[in-house]
């Protein structure tokens, strides 16, 4: 497979989408063929599953169903969209991937980490990201950004079922991301996201260009 698979992770509202878009624009300007996608979502079926998972009315959803719905969305996304793009040599930038299942469902909900990883591995046929940027920010900052976005102008939206969870849950998720970074130092870069958009983008740009140079020279 010739393409490069880059994922963005971190707590809700950390600024992943903002940074992913900036990186995509920069890479496109250099002439790279970039696919921007997200989880849950990315295909028609995966987007329908996303609506079921995130609907704030679905408060009765059991943990097992949540894990399997994220995995089902991922299975469709990986096989229909991501793998063909990587086989065509494209750079795939994905807003969340398997680390989100480990952080939110394993560390957040308390489900066994290995079980969540095994289900995700099956769903993705073992696909792993080449590089993962974890945007790290104190939970009170990311939740404040979310509330600000929810209440502002054209971006206005209701908080989804996961975003509405208690601050203690979001703190466990953040700690989970820290553990993932410690477990995978070769793949994961933790980026201090409690800075300006420009400072964060500059760090990601530097690291990503180095990654591309390494990839080309292999
Ligand atoms: N560095 C930053 N400083 C201050 N505000 C920011 C920064 N980056 C993004 N924001 C703002 O915070 C809000 C959340 O940003 P964004 O949508 O990029 O986060 P996200 O991590 O993708 O959120 P979600 O988890 O909901 O997908 C937006 O209103 C965005 O404009
Ligand atoms: C892939 C994935 C996502 N989540 C959570 C994380 C977020 O709260 C939502 C997705 O919303 P976003 O605005 O697109 O970030 O879903 C999860 O719990 N598990 C996963 O595997």
Task: Please say whether the beta carbons of 212 and 4 come within 8 A.
Answer: yes
* Closest ligand to Cα 141: 1
Can you give the three-state secondary structure of 83-117, one letter per residue? HHHHHCCCEEEEECCHHHHHHHHHHHCCCCHHHHH
Ranges of residues in the chain with a pLDDT under 70 are 152-157, 218
| Residue 16 assigned to a binding site | yes
Find out whether the beta carbon of 133 lies less than 6 Å from any atom of ligand 2: no
Of the candidates 62, 4, 10, the residue with the CA atom closest to the CA atom of residue 189: 10
Q: How far apart are CA 19 and CA 135, in angstroms?
A: 9
Find out whether the beta carbon of 150 lies less than 6 Å from any atom of ligand 2: no
CA 12–ligand 1 middle distance (angstroms): 8
Residue 38 CA: nearest ligand 1 atom is 27
Q: How far apart are CA 91 and CA 5, in angstroms?
A: 6
* Distant-in-sequence contacts of 148-155, Cβ < 8 A, 24+ apart: 149/13
Q: Which of the listed residues 97, 100, 143, 167 should we mutate to test ligand 2's pocket, taking the one with most ligand atoms within 8 A of CB?
A: 100
Find out whether the beta carbon of 10 lies less than 6 Å from any atom of ligand 2: no
At residue 152, what are phi and psi to the nearest 5 degrees? -110, 140
Find out whether the beta carbon of 18 lies less than 6 Å from any atom of ligand 1: yes
Q: How far apart are CA 24 and CA 107, in angstroms?
A: 30
Q: Give the contacts of 120 (CB within 8 A, at least 6 positions apart).
A: 71, 74, 98, 101, 102
Find out whether the beta carbon of 55 lies less than 6 Å from any atom of ligand 1: no
Q: How far apart are CA 151 and CA 144, in angstroms?
A: 11
Find out whether the beta carbon of 99 lies less than 6 Å from any atom of ligand 2: no
Q: Encoding tokens for residue 50?
A: 């996303």
What order of strands is seen across the sheet that includes strand 34-38? 34-38, 91-95, 4-9, 131-136, 188-192
Residues 136-192 have pLDDT tens digits of 999 999 999 998 988 764 444 689 999 999 999 999 999 999 999 999 999 999 999
Predicted local confidence at residue 216, as pLDDT: 76
Q: If you take atom 9 of ligand 1, which residue's CA is the nearest one?
A: 15
* Closest ligand to Cα 105: 2
* Closest ligand to Cα 111: 2
Predicted local confidence at residue 195, as pLDDT: 98
Provide the 10 A C-beta neighbour count for residue 98.
Answer: 26
Cα distances from 113 to residues 3, 127, 159, 179, in angstroms, run 29, 18, 27, 11
The pTM for the full model equals 0.96
Find out whether the beta carbon of 40 lies less than 6 Å from any atom of ligand 1: no
List of domains in the chain: 4-217 (3.40.50.300)
Q: Give the contacts of 158 (CB within 8 A, at least 6 positions apart).
A: 56, 150
């Amino acid at each position: 497979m010739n393409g490069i698979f880059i994922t963005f992770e971190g707590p809700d509202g950390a600024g992943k989408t903002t940074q992913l878009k900036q990186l995509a624009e920069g890479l496109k300007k250099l002439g790279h063929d970039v696919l921007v996608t997200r989880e849950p979502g990315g295909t028609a079926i995966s987007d329908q599953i996303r609506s079921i998972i995130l609907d704030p009315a679905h408060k009765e959803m059991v943990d097992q169903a949540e894990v399997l719905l994220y995995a089902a969305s991922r299975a469709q996304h990986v096989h229909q969209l991501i793998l063909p793009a990587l086989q065509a040599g494209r750079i795939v930038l994905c807003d969340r991937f398997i680390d989100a299942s480990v952080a939110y469902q394993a560390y957040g909900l308390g489900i066994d980490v290995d079980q969540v990883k095994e289900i995700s591995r099956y769903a993705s046929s073992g696909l792993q990201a080449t590089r993962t940027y974890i945007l790290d920010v104190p939970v009170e900052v990311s939740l404040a950004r979310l509330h600000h976005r929810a209440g502002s102008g054209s971006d206005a939206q209701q908080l989804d079922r996961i975003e509405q969870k208690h601050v203690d849950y979001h703190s466990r998720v953040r700690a989970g991301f820290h553990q993932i970074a410690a477990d995978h130092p070769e793949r994961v870069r933790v980026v201090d996201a409690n800075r300006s958009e420009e400072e964060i983008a500059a760090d990601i740009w530097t690291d990503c260009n180095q990654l591309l140079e390494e990839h080309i020279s292999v």
